Structure 1
Amino acid sequence: MRVSTKSDYALRALIEMASGDSDRGPLSAEVLGNDQDIPRGFLLTILGDLRRAGLVQSQRGPAGGWRLAKPADEVSVADVIRAVDGPLVSVYDQRPEAVAYNGNAAPLQRVWISARHALRSVFEHVSIQQLADDDLPDEVTRRTEDEDAWRSH
């Protein structure tokens, strides 16, 4: 899987919204962009995608900006990726279960479905709040303790 710049920026913006003082109100795209080194124009496009997915709200006016539309502990990494990039795994822009292979290549579909399941086992169980609090689930932490996880193959 390739994590797109769009997904990375979206996650970083949401973590920023969930971090710190919960009474600070909405954050402007300028503040979010500056804090996370995200180009403002690209960030506005991403925030629009997140708003359409119901993950953020915008508020106009001098005290306006962006805020989470629901509690950060109810927003998973998978929710964010799906909002800005679509399905976690796709083959030719189709979901793995919709792809059919002929003859000897038939087992390949099960590989794609297995890969999606593996991604879900992490992405659906890590919330924006856990990221903001640097309190990842034990299963995720254990996976990163394996030296092989850090090696590029």
Structure 2
Amino acid sequence: MGAASQDEFHDFVAARRPTLLRAAMLLTADRGEAEDLLQSALTKTYLAWGRINDRGALDGYVRRTMVNINISWWRRRRLEEYPTDELPDTPIADHTRRSELRDGLDRILDRLPPRQRAAVVLRYYEDLTETEIAEALGVSVGTVKSTVSRAMSKLRDEAAHELASLE
């Protein structure tokens, strides 16, 4: 890659990193995993930089790459993680930068299964269509509709409990 292309990639990352990290955080529900996910996606983007002709589609390219990598990680984790009787220690949430309502929403999103969380994030945070979500997750449009519907129902129930606990 030439110096001009490297500068262009550097400028893209500098400008879009916060937005892309937010999307990664919503996909993974963990800051460390989100940073790893974004780094992996940016590495793949860097390697493909010369083949990406439409620079206006870079955000979509990186988001799609993050979704694909995240799906790959789910599948790998499914084989490596087994339930136990002991719960792991949970980190203390950082309340200095977020409102209680935002923390409540994050906790509710964390409780969703990975596919439901990904579908909700792509639909309502990334504003993708059901067809685009189906392509990104590798499922049918009907599966996206039912997944989002079940997730939203669960979110409504959980939100009612969260709001009651804040009062």
Q: Would the TM-score normalized by the shorter structure come out above 0.5?
A: no
| Structure with greater strand share of residues | 1
Higher relative contact order (CA 8 A, sep 6+): 1
> Which TM class, normalised by the smaller chain length?
under 0.3
TM-score normalized by the length of structure 1: 0.28
Q: Which has the higher helix share?
A: 2
